[in-house]
A = this chain, B = another copy of it.
């Protein structure tokens, strides 16, 4: 049994297609487990004292000077302060910082009728459950998401390359609220067409 598998017994569930918020104190680490593999987990982080300060992909890229964070890289807020550091990654290191959270408009365009679960509403509902709200949906850190940049700067939505039990660990650099959404996308192959649960563990 791997360390990640052993830890799952005390991990918290990110239910398939849904979101959940949790609080992290500065110095704590959250491990996000791709329990079944091939599942994208949209991830946001907000300053616990002022949610108008949040992890920002466009600010993080400017300081990391990379499209995808690697172990040792620190993600920053829209005020250029450190918020999360990637401290472990047992996946092949393929994540995404380029693509917006899915929303009801996206599913309409793909042909969905009626309600479709989506990460934008999952963020709002997860924050509401802990008494918070935000004016705008920041671009998420899309853990495990595989959107390669091909020739001439073209993008492609592909199935994740992570496997069951592989995980990423993020250390909080300030007191923060983290939100995870197990992406419900089942109309393009970002979750291998089959959204599943994931788990997380705070230590």
- CB distance A156 to B65 under 8 Å? yes
Within 8 A of B (CB), among A56-80: 56-59, 61-62, 65-68, 78-80
Contact partner, A80, options B52, B66, B103, B156, Cβ 8 Å: B103
Offer 13 A-B interface pairs, CB within 8 angstroms, sorted by A. A56-B100, A57-B58, A58-B99, A61-B100, A62-B100, A66-B152, A67-B154, A67-B155, A78-B100, A78-B136, A80-B106, A81-B105, A139-B139
Contact partner, A66, options B66, B99, B155, Cβ 8 Å: B155
Within 8 A of B (CB), among A15-36: none
Within 8 A of B (CB), among A86-102: 98-100
Please tell me if A113 contacts chain B, counting CB pairs below 8 Å.
Answer: no
Please tell me if A153 contacts chain B, counting CB pairs below 8 Å.
Answer: yes
Residue interface bits A135-162, CB-to-B below 8 A is 1, else 0: 1110100000000010011111000000
A173 to chain B, nearest CB (A): 15
Other A-B pairs, 7, CB within 8 Å; known A81-B105, A98-B98 = A61-B99, A61-B100, A62-B99, A66-B154, A67-B154, A67-B155, A68-B153
Number of interface residues of A (CB under 8 A): 32
Please tell me if A109 contacts chain B, counting CB pairs below 8 Å.
Answer: yes
Count of identical protomers in the assembly: 2
CA distance A203 to B99 in the complex (A): 33
A203 to chain B, nearest CB (A): 29
Q: Say whether, besides A80-B109, A100-B78, A155-B65, A136 and B139 are in contact (CB < 8 Å).
A: no
| CB closest chain-B residue, reference A68 | B153
CA distance A78 to B154 in the complex (A): 21
CA distance A153 to B59 in the complex (A): 16
| CB closest chain-B residue, reference A69 | B153
- CB distance B109 to A61 under 8 Å? no
Top 8 A-B residue pairs of the complex, sorted by shortest distance between their CB atoms: A80-B105, A58-B100, A67-B153, A58-B139, A135-B135, A59-B100, A136-B136, A65-B155
